[in-house]
Every structure is written in C-alpha cells, then in structure tokens.
Amino acid sequence: MGLAAPAAADPNTLQQMMLFRSAVQDSDACRVTVEGGVPVFDESVAGAAAATCPDAFAWTQFTTAIREEFWNWSMDQTIWVGEPWGLCTAGETKDCCDPNAPIDPSDPNPNCPTFRADYSPIPTLPAEPNGTPSEQVLNDHGAQLNIADRLDPGRLLRDLELELVFRNRAMFDYIYRNDMYSREGLASHNRAQNKALSDGDIGAAQRMTVRLPVDAVMVKADFIHLEIMQSLGLVQDLGDGGPPNHPEYPFLTVFIENYDEGQVPGVYYMMAMTNASKDIPVWHWYAMEHVMNPGRCDYIGCNDSFGYKVNGKMQEGADFGDHYIPPMIVLNDDKTKHNDPLFVTGEVYHPEMTGERPSDQLSALFEGMGVGVDEVDRDWQVITPGDPQWKNYRLKGTQSSFTTAAGIPTGTGATLTEGGFVNSASCATCHSQSSVDSQGFSGVQGVGATWRPNLLGYGQVAMGAPDGQWFYNFGGPSITATQMDFIWGILGASCVNPGATHGDPCTSYYDTPRKVE
C-alpha cells in the first residue's frame, strides 16, 4: 500500500483536515551547532529554544540523552521503591533515607531512591513487559489477529511492550529531596497546601507548588521482546551471528539478563520513545519512532521541520511541504461518486515512499554529539551512544503547549506508547493530571482518560487545556488534587507504613513535606 491517494483534481477533505496536524513548528532562525559536545542554538532563539524551535530542540534533547547514556539514569523502579523508608530528619536518623549520605557503589539500598549510574556494576534493567503474548500472536504470525490489532498494530505492541522510564540526575534529586518518593511524602504536599490555605497563608500555599528544575529530563523507551518481533515478521535472520533484525533499518537491541521472579529476560528491540524536559512550564514533549514501525504516521501524520526533509507531494491532490508525512488514505468505494476519504492503517511508511532524507543540520548534530557514528553495532547486547541504529529513528512530533494560538488542541503520540488512542493523545494534557490527594493516591483518576471510546472501542484521552475541577473544590475553596508537575511515576509510590492490604491507605501521615537541601 502506497501513500498516494486516488488521483483527484482537488484535495479531499481528509487532506485538508491535516491543516491542524501539520503546522510548521520551528522558526526559520532555528539553527544548531555543536560546541564541545553541547548543542548550541543561534543567539536569536537560544533564550527560548524549547518554545521557538520545538523540533530542533527535540533532536538536541534526543542526542544529548544518548550522549549522557540515559539507560544508566534512575528509573521509576529505583525511585518509587516497593518498601520505602521515610526521609531522614534531625530526629530520625536510623532506617531512613538521606540523599546526602555517602554512597557505597557496591551496595544500593533497596529501601531508598537510587541513581543507577552511581553503582558498579550498574544494576540490571527490569524486564517485566505489560503482558504475555497469546499463542495466536506467537504461532500464527499475525494472520489471525483480531480486527483491532490488524487496524492498529501499535495497540497490540503497546499491550505487550516493556516500557522503561528513565529520569536524569536533576529530576531524581528533586523527587528524592522533596519527599515525593513515598505515598506519605506525596500526601504531605496536599495536606500542607490545604492547611496553608485554610490558615489564610495564601503565599505559603503558592510556594508549596511542585516545580521541578528546568534541567529535569525524562526518557520513556518502549521495547518489544524477540519472540514477538519474530512472530509479527518485524525482523528476520540476517546470518551475521547477531539476533534477527531488519535488513535495511536495524532496530536498536539490548539483552536484558534479569531472572528475578516475574521477569522475562532476553533480547529486546527499541521501538519508540516519548520524552520530555522541563525547559518550559508545561514541559517540552516529543515522540520518536523507528522508521519501520507499522502505522508510524497513521491518523496524525509525522511532523518534523528540522531533522528530515520529505516529499511534500507524496499524495495526489495536496502538497504538505517538506516537513510533514500525511497519514495514508484511500477513497471509500461504496458509492459511485462523492466518496469519503478514509484512513489506511497499519502499513509501513518506507523512506522510498516518503522521500525522507536527513537535513545537513541533523547530520552535523549526530556527528558532533558522537551519536550513531559507529560503522557497525559493536555489541548487540548493550546500548552505546555510537550504535548506528540511532539513525533509524524519526521524530513523530513535538508538543510545547496545550492549544495553538488559534485554540486548536495540540497533541502527539507514538504508535506504541499511545497505541489505540494516537489520534487523541496529548502528552501535556494527560501529564497535567498527575496529582495526589490527602492520602497520596492519584488525585485525578484514569491517567488522561475520558468517557469517549473511539470507533474500535479503545478509550480516548483528554486533549486541550486542563480543567480546573480536576484539582480544586471551588466551594471552599480547597485543593482536592495537588499537581506533581507532570510526573506520572508517582503511581508507583508505596507506603512507608502500609495498610493491611495492598492499595489501602497508609497507616500514618504527616502534614508537612520533609525536605533535604
């Protein structure tokens, strides 16, 4: 299936609707050079690069995270640990967590947050995928998959993926030092704000707002196990002694050797990433996808005004410019005339179809950052900055606001990370709901969920500006849900003093967040 729609003298309505998905994100002044391994923006935009050059900024963040070896950062499992100790105070110095305590590189404390790169050897990555593939997936090579999985293969992969969330040192330190790693610590932020509000100390309530530092960075990487990749025909034996892979555009691979209970060790392939940095108040968001992911540009297209140039006339009837790959479409054939255009889903957007070619600036960025510079993958079992496969990933889109200046809700989503609801995905809106109530539970239930199912039955998620009623009871007023600055990792928080059963409220709380400078 190609990208071209049936020949037509005029653009069809679906092509015209892509007006709202294909906005040029970057200013013409968005130029980037590399000095000493650091991306440098042109002086005219350097002070607001994340907002003025969101696509260029995404590529600089992507290559910087790789150069810094993000796979060795802290992870949700090493921040929100299963049996946390409380944060140390002047009166509590035993069996508690002290972010200033000396680190023993050979002995990470399982009861306190840890930054993985501080330890030697670096702790093994967890390998607990979202779900176990059915025999249908593994044995039938996808031939008998249900209609939803055929129409939206990203949803099938989402249901089976291994999602690993990494957080850099600045983000780790803030969460740790501000007592946000246990449920009691999270609850104390809500309790303290409400107490200040009821006492009339409005300034204190405002000062307690959770604001991560501007250099905080989150990387969410989505991996699929070898068995599933083979069963779906996404990789093949190349006869080179390594694991099966794509012959033209190899996936990045890693061998996860974790044999703990519940883990699924083996070879994993990185399919997509959804990353964010706190350079602007609502964070800067971007999605990366492997170029051979089925359905990569379905529904919303792929938008990149910095990294890759494309053939804007890849579909008959419209010219989308050299920055945007439109979703595949076909005209409905149930009438003799006036047929509606429909999406074609689940196909591969091959560069031969799209005309994708890297810009000179992107090539220089990769070279200057030392990313993807090796001729071959020197060790398929580990990830390194030089792995050539990094060049097989593409920017799906960026998000730096809830709506456009004209009021159109913005959004982007990777086919795996947001499988089943890509067309309504909004990173900023969903993560704005990250909040806690007075017991440390999620203040807004559903993680972005709405009451609306899409045509396949999967739930759509919220887009656009947040709703104040998610967070406030205006009759008091009171703060029913204290925002945690877009961090959904808080869902993994456990109690220092747990209740009788999992999911019960903690048995004790305190009213003021403990903080360690």
Could you give the CA distance from residue 482 to residue 137 in angstroms, rounded to a whole number? Answer: 42
CA distance 490 to 180: 8
Band the pLDDT of 267: cuts 50, 70, 90. very high
Q: Judging by beta carbons within 10 Å of its beta carbon (0-12, 13-18, 19+), is residue 159 exposed, middle or buried? A: middle
401 in a structural domain: yes
Average pLDDT over residues 383-387: 98
Structural domain containing residue 103: 13-492
pLDDT score recorded for residue 1? 46
- Can you give the pLDDT at residue 326? 97
- Say whether pLDDT at 142 is over 60: no
Residue 509 placed within a domain: no
CA dist., res. 303 & res. 309, Å (int): 10
The answer to whether 265 and 127 have CB atoms below 8 angstroms apart is: yes
pLDDT in tens, 39-64: 999 999 999 999 999 999 999 999 99
Tens of pLDDT, residues 220-261 = 999 999 999 999 999 999 999 999 999 999 999 999 999 999
Instruction: Let me know if residue 253 belongs to a domain.
Output: yes
Phi, psi of 352 (to 5 degrees): -65, -30
Overall average pLDDT of the 451-472 stretch: 93
Quick check: 454 pLDDT over 90? no
Q: Which amino acid is at 209?
A: T
Q: Which of 187, 182, 170 is nearest to 111 (CA)?
A: 182
Residue 70: both structure tokens together: 């993000």
* DSSP symbols for 291-351: TT-TTTTTTT-EE-SSSEE--TTSSTT----TTEEPPPEEE--SSSSSPPEEE--S----H
pLDDT given for residue 503 in this prediction: 85
Q: Supply angle C-alpha 248, 252, 256, rounded to 5.
A: 140
Which amino acid makes up residue 78? T
pLDDT at site 429 = 97
- Residue 334: the pLDDT is 80
Per the domain annotation, does 503 fall within a domain?
Answer: no
Look over the chain and give the mean of its residue pLDDT values, rounded to a whole number.
94
With respect to residue 506, please indicate whether it lies within any of the assigned structural domains: no
Rg (CA), the chain: 24
Non-local CB neighbours of 146 within 8 Å, separated by 6+ positions: none
Q: Is the pLDDT of residue 162 over 50?
A: yes
396-442 per-position pLDDT tens digit: 999 999 999 999 999 999 999 999 999 999 999 999 999 999 999 99
Mean pLDDT of 386-394: 98
Predicted pLDDT at 412: 94
**Domains contained in the chain, number:** 1
Considering the domain boundaries, does residue 502 fall inside one? no
Looking at the domain assignment, is residue 107 inside a domain?
A: yes
Residue 88 has pLDDT above 60, yes or no: yes
Question: Is-cis flag, bond preceding 105, omega within 30?
Answer: no
Q: Between these two residues, 181 and 8, which has the higher pLDDT value?
A: 181
Per-residue pLDDT at 138 exceeds 80:
no
Q: What value does the mean pLDDT take over residues 7-36?
A: 91
Q: From CA 237, how far away is CA 254, in angstroms rounded?
A: 16
Q: Residue 314: pLDDT above 60?
A: yes
Residue 7 lies in a domain: no
Residues of the chain with pLDDT > 90, as a percent, come to: 88
Q: Which residues of 48-61 are buried (b: 16+ CB within 10 A; e: fewer)?
A: ebbbbbbbbbbbbb
Q: Distance between CA atoms of 139 and 247, rounded to whole angstroms?
A: 22
Which residue type is seen at 505? P
Tell how far CA 163 is from the center of its chain. Answer: 9
